[in-house]
Structure 1
Amino acid sequence: MPRAGWKKPGSERRLSDLVSVGVLSRVFPPGVVDAVIAETGRTERRHRSLPARVMAYFAIGMALYSEGSYEDVFAQLTDGLSWASGWVEEFSPPSKSAIFQARRRLGSEPVAALFARVARPIGGADTAGVWLAGRRVVAVDGTCLDVADTPVNAEHFGRPGVRKGEQAAFPQARLVALAECGTHAIFAARIGAY
């Protein structure tokens, strides 16, 4: 039973969903994001409603909320920003087309450079499972990811064979990562063709 005076929030998102934007901005501080965007030559020449920094956070959000549509991911991020401002600021999500165009302008280089800048082993000298005989314990792991079924993706990534003479329904990218065993922190990764 709800308490007296309780109002249902305008969003169905949980507090943990909203706080994730704050965590994103701590792991990827705006100054670092802006520096990486400048280094990769993706700084805007004019003011846009979806600046490169917002789209960099959006790209990270797409990885965190991979089940959602563009609009869902953007709403998740902007709800977090609204929550962080004490519900003072309201953000209305842009159209799917505007998000797609802004994402294309940004490209993948700034996101890859951002990962390279911030991804590090995080275990300290006393973190359990991180060290063995004075050496950091790491693991190599890999997985395959379905990518959009486009001619460009099929040519670049390829399609795995499922049976003799047949190919999978979607092109697949192979992801290989290096992770710290005690913390599971990924500090190096490559995505390539199947």
Structure 2
Amino acid sequence: MEGKSKAGERVRIGILTKVFTTELVDAAIARHDRGDRRRRLLPARLVVYFVLALCLFARESYEEVLRVLTSGIPGSRALTSVNRSSLCRARSPLGEEVLETVFRQVAGPLATPDTPGAWWHGMRLLALDGTQFDLPDSTRNGDTFDGPSTTGGLPFGFPQVRAVVLAEIGTHGVLDARLGGYRDGERSLAYPLARSTGFGDLVIADRGFWSVEFAYAFT
């Protein structure tokens, strides 16, 4: 069973590097001037792959993600001697802009004309939906994103980020997404996603989104 598990890890890391190529990652880093000459910690490319691997292995610890990453990505051995706090510090100078650029380079529809469940009467089926994610319970996250509170304004639980995602139904391929804080409304986050739809797309969403104004935005 352990051999199968390690083989599965290598497959997922292989897919990760195939989709997010080194050329794509390096171009995003250069675009936002986050190259290694500005860094005293880890190479920027490795930090990008580490963050992506954290998403791929979301249930694993930093240490386990490091183990998987260093066994599957050439040149990542530099991570083996890095402690958890250094990894946290290395992510800060990278900036969110690099990761958003990487995301937008790969986001898009994946269905072919033969993909089951992706089409209806010649129209591409898209789904629009919102969700929330718990964040580490830190003062900075609480100040930035906020979270649930009592009627008297006393915070409880974890800070949360709200996400609204536009995805292809047949493949679950993400076309676009917007992130906001706990107090941001799903509808206000969803409006900009209309830019990622076009002629021949049929967008499905629950009743909390729709209004005449919203329908016009996605027409």
- Alignment TM class, shorter chain as reference: 0.7 to 0.9
Aligned residues: 179
Q: 1:167 to 1:100 in 2, by over 3 A?
A: closer
The aligned counterpart of 1:189 is: 177
Q: Is the 8 A contact 1:143 1:174 kept in 2?
A: yes
Unaligned ranges ≥5, structure 2: 183-219
Confirm or deny that 1:145 pairs with 2:133: yes
The aligned counterpart of 1:59 is: 51
Q: Which has the higher helix share?
A: 2
- Distance, in Å, in 1 between the alignment partners of 2:80 and 2:158 is 33
- Distance, in Å, in 1 between the alignment partners of 2:84 and 2:78 is 19
RMSD (Å) for aligned C-alpha atoms: 2.5
Confirm or deny that 1:80 pairs with 2:68: no
Q: 1:42 to 1:90 in 2, by over 3 A?
A: closer
The residue identity in structure 2 corresponding to 1:149 is: D
Return structure 1 stretches of 4+ with deviation > 4 angstroms: 46-49
Alignment of 1:39-118 (within 5 A): 39-45=31-37, 50-81=42-73, 92-118=80-106
Deviations 1:142-177 (A, max 9, x none): 21111122222112211123x543533211111111
The residue identity in structure 1 corresponding to 2:67 is: A
The aligned counterpart of 1:16 is: 8
Q: 1:184 to 1:46 in 2, by over 3 A?
A: closer
Question: Could you state the TM-score of these two structures normalised by the residue count of structure 1?
Answer: 0.82
Q: Is the 8 A contact 2:119 2:125 kept in 1?
A: yes
- Distance, in Å, in 1 between the alignment partners of 2:79 and 2:134 is 32
Q: 1:154 to 1:48 in 2, by over 3 A?
A: closer
| The 10-residue stretch of structure 1 (63-72 or 181-190) with the greater mean CA deviation from structure 2 | 63-72
The residue identity in structure 1 corresponding to 2:108 is: R
Question: Could you state the TM-score of these two structures normalised by the residue count of structure 2?
Answer: 0.73
SS for the counterpart of 1:45 is helix
- Distance, in Å, in 1 between the alignment partners of 2:80 and 2:26 is 23
- Distance, in Å, in 1 between the alignment partners of 2:144 and 2:180 is 9
Match of 1:124 among 104, 112, 134: 112
Cα displacement (A) at 1:137: 0.4
| The 10-residue stretch of structure 1 (172-181 or 125-134) with the greater mean CA deviation from structure 2 | 125-134
- Distance, in Å, in 1 between the alignment partners of 2:67 and 2:95 is 21
The aligned counterpart of 1:174 is: 162
